[in-house]
Amino acid sequence: MRRLLRPEAAFFLAVMLLLLLAFRERGFYDPGALWHVKVGELIVDHGFPTTDPFTYTFEGRTWIPQQWGAEVLMAVAHRAGGLDAMLLGFAVLVATLYTLIFRRALQAGMGPMLAGLLVGAALVVGAFHYFVRPHMATIALLGWTMMCVVDFERGRCSTWRLAGLIPLFVLWTNLHGGVLGGTMTLGLAVAGWGVLFLARRESPITNWRTAWLLVAVVAACGLTPFVNPFGMEMLNTWRRIVGSKVLPEVVNEHMPLDPASPLGLTVIGFGVLYLALLAGTLPKLPRVSWLIPIAWLVLSFKGIRQGPLFAITAAVALADLWPHTVWHRLLVKYGDGSLAHAPERRPGWAWAAIPAAVVMLIATLQLTGVEAPVVGRGWARLDPDFIPVELADEMRAYAAAVPPGTPVFNDANLGGFLIYHTPTLKIFMDDRCELYGDDWIRAYSDTLGLPPAELGPVFEGWAGRYGFRRAIVMTDPTGTEKPPIERYLLGAGGWREVARAKRAVVFDRVN
């Protein structure tokens, strides 16, 4: 029984249940959490789309589901157990990732309490960008890549385990474009080891055969993005996103880190902790793998969406460097053994039996439709404070009363809501930024920021061009300051309000 009741099992269950509680609604805040499901269903039912299937503004334009693998998984989960199954998959993925790091921290000589605090801090730092979306695959797979790098540098695995990243990166390519970050991480490690080898310092590269083999592995991983159903169009899509000059100005997750914001302070605080523990290894020369998180920390200042990637790589590095720090030596010497001890080999994987059984039980409850708090069907839901779920019936009734393909004007952040609830309607825009391009996104953002008197003619021009007779726009839930477009529609004689929720208002054209 002691082999089953291990700290790893308790940590996994605690993290999973915490995620099921904390992300019950928050996991679906991002619009992509909804439209990704519909893309997956479209692929399952009809195959890969090659042109935009959702908008009238870009109908017929080239568009590919670049995250198709994750979208199919989301669609399958949604059909099996709705939002609950999607939330469970998200929680199990994140809990598994951080439990693996927790286990490594225990092996490195951290006590369960200290390991839980450190790994929990990494989880909290990255949680601002945790949504039920394909990008979670990048966070998990980058964590695994970092573990492989650390283990190879420590002599715990052979080059064949690094070579095993090649098929994994092929899978990653078809889940999310973050595979480029995995190649960068592996490439930095191999480059660092190569420099040490050439300088005749201690390095996992001990001969030219190993050096060229690792270069070949990195090159093969770098070529994996070409292994996809869409060829070069996949890479062109990624290039449009990464190379955009507008997204860092108008989309929160693409913006640079703000050091004065609570979010920025959290990332910086964890960065200070990482650097302090890293400094504790001096004057010994740090291992290459311990330095890799610095690159991700720097990238976090350029784009805050890299913050979770810094957190996960730093957590893996800290679990490895801990026994080499002065802080570990001091705690072992003067502590009672509860926070630090000598590195040790952990028992096998029998402890995973209890978490696996709990996950299977929860999945069974959800798939059989048993309603229960946290673990049963009906727990996950859309938050009306962020998503206008009160308007779903109104929009479905409208969709049923008009021909399929009828255009509707919508705020970009409501695109996913409409695609999910009323797939027969055509929308104005959503958050698939690679489709719209910088010029359109900037024009849209600038227009919605105009005063009502200036915004009105542009909006009416859109109505005349595209022929929409219904508009659903965002509103301020506090009611203190209405957005310019809402103020225009309320004052325009040609439009009338037909429905209102905390986050959105519906208007119809007056004949």
Confidence of residue 340 (pLDDT cuts 50, 70, 90): confident
Asked whether 136 and 34 are in contact (CB, 8 A), the reply is no
Whether the predicted pLDDT of 1 surpasses 60 = no
Instruction: Specify the pLDDT at position 348.
Output: 83
Q: What local confidence, expressed as pLDDT, does residue 256 receive?
A: 93
Two tokens, residue 302: 């350029």
Domain ranges in the chain?
Answer: 11-242+259-338, 389-509
**In the prediction, which pLDDT does 90 show?**
98
Q: Over 70: is that where the pLDDT of 110 sits?
A: yes
Tens of pLDDT, residue by residue over 242-256, are: 999 999 998 888 899
What average pLDDT does the segment 334-356 reach?
87
Alpha-carbon distance 254 to 277, whole Å?
A: 29
Say what percent of the chain tops pLDDT 70.
Answer: 99
Please compute Rg for the chain using Cα positions.
25
Residue 328 CA to its chain's centroid (Å)? 33
- Per-residue pLDDT of 408-461, as tens digits, reads 999 999 999 999 999 999 999 999 999 999 999 999 999 999 999 999 999 999
Arithmetic mean of pLDDT, 301-326: 96
Peptide bond into 407 cis (omega under 30): no
Please state which of the four CATH numbers 2.60.40, 3.40.390, 3.30.70, 3.40.190 is assigned to the domain occupying 389-509. 3.40.190
Q: State the Cα–Cα distance between residues 299 and 16, nearest whole angstrom.
A: 29
The pLDDT of residue 2 is: 63
pLDDT in tens, 146-158: 999 999 999 999 9
> In the 3-class helix/strand/coil scheme, how is 67-128 assigned residue by residue?
CHHHHHHHHHHHHHHHHHHHHHHHHHHHHHHHHHHHHHHHHCCECHHHHHHHHHHHHHHHHH
Q: What pLDDT, on a 0 to 100 scale, did the predictor assign at position 252?
A: 85
Is the pLDDT score of 337 beyond 90? Answer: no
Global pTM? 0.95
pLDDT of residue 201: 94
Mean pLDDT across 49-68: 97
pLDDT in tens, 78-93: 999 999 999 999 999 9
> ∠470-474-477 over CA atoms, to 5°?
135
The CB-based long-range contact list for 441-448 (8 Å cut-off, 24+ gap) reads 441/244, 441/246, 441/247, 441/250, 442/246, 442/249, 442/250, 444/412, 445/246, 445/250, 448/411, 448/483, 448/484, 448/485
> Whole-number mean pLDDT of the chain?
95
- What's the pLDDT at 5? 76
